Amino acid sequence: MNVVAASLSAAGGLAVAGAISAVLFGRSVRAALVGLLTAPAGAAAAVAGAAAAGGVSWSLAAPYLLPLTGVELAVDPLSGWFLLLIGAVTAVTGVYTVGYAGRQGHGPGARPSLVLLPLFAASLMLVPVAASVPTLLVGWELMAVTSLLLVLTEHRHAPAVRDAGIWYAALTQLGFVALLIGLVWLAGTAGGPSFAAIRAGARDVDAATASVVFLLGLIGFAGKAGAVPLHPWLPRAHAESPSHVSALMSAAMVKLGVYGLLRLGFDLLGGGAPWWWLLLAAVGAISALYGITQAAVARDIKRMLAFSTSENVGLILLGVGFAGMYAQAGNSTAAVLALAAALLHAANHGAFKALLFAGAGSVVRATGTRDMDRLGGLVRTMPATTVLFAGGALAAAALPPGNGFVSEWLLLQSLLHPGPDAGPMLTIAAPIAVAVVAATAGIGVATYVKAVGTGFLARPRSDRAATARESPPSMVVAMVLAGLACVALAVVPGLTIPVLSRIAGDLRLAPPGGTVAASTFALRVEAATLWPLWTVVGIVAGTAAVAVAARALGRARRRAPAWDCGGGPLTERMEYTATSFAEPLQRVFDNVLAPERDVDVTHADESRYHVAAIRFHQRIPDRVENRIYRPLVTALRSLGERVRPLANGSVHRYLGYMLVALLAVLVVGVLR
Amino acid sequence: MTVLVALGQAVLLAVLAPYVLGLTRAVRARLEGRAGRRLGQPWRDLRKLLRKPPTSPSDASLFFVAAPPVLLATSLLVAVAAPFVATTSLAGEADLIVVVGLLLLGAVALALAGLDTGTAFGGMGASREMTIAALVEPTLLLSVFALSVRVGSTDLAAIVTAGATDPASVFTPASALAAAALAIATLAECGRVPVDNPSTHLELTMVHEAMVLEYSGRDLALVEWASALRLTILLGLLANLFAPWGVATHLTPVALAIGTAAFIAKVGGLAALLAAGEVLAAKLRLFRVPELLAGSFALALLAVLAAAVLG
């Protein structure tokens, strides 16, 4: 029995054991048991993923498990990479659940929620190892249903949760239907449901069919990845679900959309046409820009992180799109580079977003609010959470020495080398993509400074924030684990390059044998070199040296009330809040964001020149949602109203409809 | 030897930076008809401040204390690695994306410190600084990218070496556009007129000064020193990217001496030009600044496209 099989069985067994123990045990030990069984399940999946990424192959066909089609499983380096990511995130989330769900027995600690958590994790692990269309679709739907139920965990607390559930259910089912049609059509045309059969028969699929299948797959997979304009579920579901679920969804689940696109586009359809990848890159660019501008002005900490997920997924899709275009243009060096950047960014985003959502969850648990305008001052009451969140923010802002910087560096390098005979499309697209990445990085920095600076520093702006207490040790340990993953990816990203090159070779982007030169401590692209370790050492050692030298030369530090230009004693109402911090940026992007503002001025009775009270209310709507989805929902609703007479409750009439439909299908079938 | 040259270059920049600041002030004073202070006055201010104990506001945390060393350390790292006097940089660490990232990291540390004080001015300065940084960073990245297309590498040393060995290759449409964009970005990044006024203490117009209002003593000395160093670094990069003459491409004493002299002359010239420009120009209203920066972004995008299309 090879290591992949053993680890995967262990992961599945532990996950099922977790679900069963949640059913059997009482609330005092339930969360701890589920958490402590889910964590090793994740670790086992990560081991399987690492082995598969390292080249261990394994496959299993179980025709008896599912009627008609059976279950087919297999691993290759691509599925191994995503399995590793999912396993690591699951392990961190499992540890986090112990403290987060706690012993109170409601909310995330309720029995249904704890039963579903390990099952959700297991369905996440099933998707990348599926080796046939039915198995993939079953895993996909299990993942959608379990995550939907987990999003609804706290539906009794707020109507917004139910709203989020409806949006998520609608869009995820739309995606599923698109996938179902596309993949079944592909399996039908290519000659069999298993991936091996499709791969073999893909040459016989004509270009038009392949394009339609790819577009349907794009709807399904990019929608799951949270790409604009299929994103409206994402800020809602990520914000309203419990934070351990947000972490799993944002860090692991959305990456499976990327996995699906890679599997379908490169592996099953064999590369397709350049315009597929241009379209994908455009979707990525729009997601990145739209996501980060929305994140920059969000005041809800989890909504901000969710839009930042859209942004990062956009960057990943941009990399995948360029990998496809480069491969079509015959520039295999750049193709491998772009794919490596995308896959590395997927891992980096998994690591820092798990950390950030865990940190946000700790804050929400301690203060009861997600509104950054009402937070602040947590650096004194929750020092560990603050430092860890700040570390995650550094990575997410793509600043050196964070791990996000490394993958954005690789992405920029891949865009710099379109090659001498790249053709007009790439020659124009690559510089524009550089501009998109650069603009995203700039706004991202402002976004995360806002999150750390107004969320955690200065004075508390509400009573709950003032009386917050540090999270239980298990949550801090989980955040430390995610932080260590970030550090490892920041310091030795070179270790992943051989695996990423092998994946690129498997996807037929490049001839076998890596083209990105890398050693443990350096990434080399043409003449440019990045030494991640030396950057880290330089910054840390330099800062320490300056601080120590300055202290040695000077006198001891004093504490005194802030001067603030000699004004009176400061109150927390004078501080900058998240809204005020983002106001200049919001003004810059006023035309894009179109915020809705209400200012109510109440005048004093005596004179209208005297103001008694001013109320300011601002909401930044999602314009894509308002422009695309609202009219659609309205149209569907009015259509529903209009056809209501057709459904008058008569069973005979319904039977008649079914007969007509059956006849119509038969007639079409015969005529064709 | 390379290490020694790199460290020597950092020491040179660190020593030179306050004089560059002094030079801009002196030129400005002379053009405004004042006598002005001596060139070395910033150094005397630094010496005085370094001896005084720093004060932390009672609400401030570790972020406030850590920001000045981070700011200075990132600036010093750039001064060590980037090609100012000689192009033989340390182990290719002078990648321009890393340089932009390091400079931004310093700005972020200072913005967090401004928010950490819990004062209205600190928050105001941080918010404005990050808005400007968010709009400047794309321009910086894009314009240096336009230059790297020519060389095929983002290694600063490679770009400067290519310019130094073949001076004619610097004069391309892409270079001209990139130079204009980078000059505007440099003004914004250093907080100079028309984006910010370094000598203002009028509350409503402050950007950089508002962030560092609460710093005193040793902390203030580090912040001021680092700011001067950042100005010198950016002027030096501007000089070496668009006029890479005299840079030492190999490590002989004569070449290094010429490189040092050329560097001092170029940075001095640019600083004087900057001061003269500041006398003539007025500071823009804060909400007009994004228009200027959008213009520079457009220039940078054109530069990249020109570099990619025209080759």
Q: Do B141 and A438 touch (CB under 8 A)?
A: yes
Size (chain A), residues: 672
pLDDT band at B307 (very low <50, low <70, confident <90, very high): confident
Q: For A124-133, A279-288, A391-400, B144-153, which range has the lowest pLDDT when averaged over its residues?
A: B144-153
Question: Is A300 part of any domain?
Answer: yes
- Assess whether A607 and A542 both reside in one domain: no
| H/E run at residue A72 | strand A71-75
Question: Is A215 part of any domain?
Answer: no
- Assess whether A463 and A402 both reside in one domain: yes
CA distance A473 to chain B (A): 22
Q: Does B147 touch chain A (CB under 8 A)?
A: no
- Assess whether A546 and A598 both reside in one domain: no
- Give yes or no for a contact between A313 and A289, defined as CB atoms under 8 angstroms apart: no
pLDDT band at A527 (very low <50, low <70, confident <90, very high): low
Of A432, A529, A587, the CB nearest to B92: A529
- Assess whether A304 and A420 both reside in one domain: yes
Q: For A295-304, A511-520, B278-287, which range has the lowest pLDDT when averaged over its residues?
A: A511-520
CA distance A388 to chain B (A): 13
- Assess whether A535 and A604 both reside in one domain: no
The whole-number pLDDT of residue B111 equals 95
The whole-number pLDDT of residue A416 equals 83
- Assess whether A446 and A511 both reside in one domain: yes
Segments forming the whole domain that contains residue A522: 273-552+578-592
Question: Is A301 part of any domain?
Answer: yes
Question: Is A302 part of any domain?
Answer: yes
Question: Is A67 part of any domain?
Answer: no
The whole-number pLDDT of residue B154 equals 84
Q: Which two tokens stand for residue A143?
A: 């993942």
Of B53, B117, B124, the CB nearest to A558: B53
Q: Could you state, in order of their start, the residue ranges of all structural domains in chain B?
A: 2-310
Does A146 have pLDDT greater than 70?
A: yes
What single letter denotes the amino acid at residue A220? Answer: G
Q: For A181-185, B32-36, B198-202, B267-271, which range has the lowest pLDDT when averaged over its residues?
A: B198-202
Q: Do A574 and B120 touch (CB under 8 A)?
A: yes
- Assess whether A333 and A410 both reside in one domain: yes
- A to B CB pairs, distance under 8 Å: 274
Strands A71-75 and A558-560 turn out to be unpaired
Residues of chain B with Cβ-Cβ distance to A406 below 8 Å are: none
pLDDT band at A519 (very low <50, low <70, confident <90, very high): low
| Residue of B105, B159, B287 best to disrupt the A interface, most CBs of A under 10 A | B105
- Assess whether A358 and A429 both reside in one domain: yes
Q: What distance in Å separates the CA atoms of residue A557 and residue B54, rounded to the nearest whole number?
A: 5
Of B131, B218, B290, the CB nearest to A554: B218
- Give the residue from chain A lying closest to B128, CA to CA: A584
Q: Does A439 touch chain B (CB under 8 A)?
A: yes
Q: Tell me the per-residue pLDDT of A197-237, one tens digit each, with 9 for 90 and over.
A: 999 988 888 899 999 999 999 999 999 999 989 999 999 99
Q: Does A1 touch chain B (CB under 8 A)?
A: no
Mean local confidence (pLDDT), B274-303: 89
- Assess whether A392 and A468 both reside in one domain: yes
Residues of chain A with Cβ-Cβ distance to B82 below 8 Å are: none
Q: Do B118 and A585 touch (CB under 8 A)?
A: no
Q: Which two tokens stand for residue A511?
A: 């001839």
Q: Does B290 touch chain A (CB under 8 A)?
A: yes
What single letter denotes the amino acid at residue B120? Answer: A
Looking at chain A, the number of H-run helices and the number of E-run strands are: 27, 8
What does the longest C-alpha to C-alpha distance in chain B come to? 58
Q: Tell me the per-residue pLDDT of A587-599, one tens digit each, with 9 for 90 and over.
A: 999 888 888 889 9
Instruction: Give the end of a domain, one of A528, A561, A592.
Output: A592
Q: Do B217 and A554 touch (CB under 8 A)?
A: yes
Q: What distance in Å separates the CA atoms of residue A124 and residue A74, rounded to the nearest whole number?
A: 15
Considering its fold, how many domains does chain A have in total? 2
Query: B-contacting residues of A 376-435, CB under 8 Å?
Result: 377, 379-380, 390, 397-400, 405, 409, 412-413, 416-418, 427-428, 430-432, 434-435
Q: Do A528 and B115 touch (CB under 8 A)?
A: no
Question: Is A78 part of any domain?
Answer: no
Q: What distance in Å separates the CA atoms of residue B241 and residue B232, rounded to the nearest whole number?
A: 14
Residues of chain A with Cβ-Cβ distance to B139 below 8 Å are: 438
The whole-number pLDDT of residue A192 equals 87
Locus of tokens 């600076």? A453
Mean pLDDT of chain B: 89
What three-state secondary structure class fits A149? Answer: helix
Mean local confidence (pLDDT), A507-521: 66
pLDDT band at A36 (very low <50, low <70, confident <90, very high): very high
Q: What distance in Å separates the CA atoms of residue A512 and residue A502, rounded to the nearest whole number?
A: 7
- Assess whether A367 and A328 both reside in one domain: yes
Q: Does A543 touch chain B (CB under 8 A)?
A: yes
The whole-number pLDDT of residue A86 equals 96
What three-state secondary structure class fits A130? Answer: strand
Q: Tell me the per-residue pLDDT of B263-279, one tens digit each, with 9 for 90 and over.
A: 999 999 999 999 999 88
Q: Does B200 touch chain A (CB under 8 A)?
A: no
Q: Do B131 and A588 touch (CB under 8 A)?
A: yes
- Assess whether A513 and A615 both reside in one domain: no
Q: Where are the alpha helices (DSSP H) in chain B?
A: 2-31, 41-51, 62-81, 96-116, 120-151, 156-165, 173-189, 208-211, 217-242, 253-280, 289-310
Mean local confidence (pLDDT), A509-534: 70
Q: Which two tokens stand for residue A101?
A: 């769900």
The larger pLDDT score, comparing residue B166 to residue A513, is at B166
Of A442, A554, A581, the CB nearest to B50: A554
- Assess whether A503 and A620 both reside in one domain: no
Mean pLDDT of chain A: 91
The larger pLDDT score, comparing residue A216 to residue A156, is at A216
- Give the residue from chain B lying closest to A562, CA to CA: B57
Q: Tell me the per-residue pLDDT of B185-237, one tens digit each, with 9 for 90 and over.
A: 999 988 888 888 877 777 677 888 888 989 999 999 999 999 999 999 999 99
Q: What distance in Å separates the CA atoms of residue B33 and residue B29, rounded to the nearest whole number?
A: 6
Query: B-contacting residues of A 12-51, CB under 8 Å?
Result: none
Q: What distance in Å separates the CA atoms of residue A46 and residue A86, rounded to the nearest whole number?
A: 7
Does B293 have pLDDT greater than 80?
A: yes
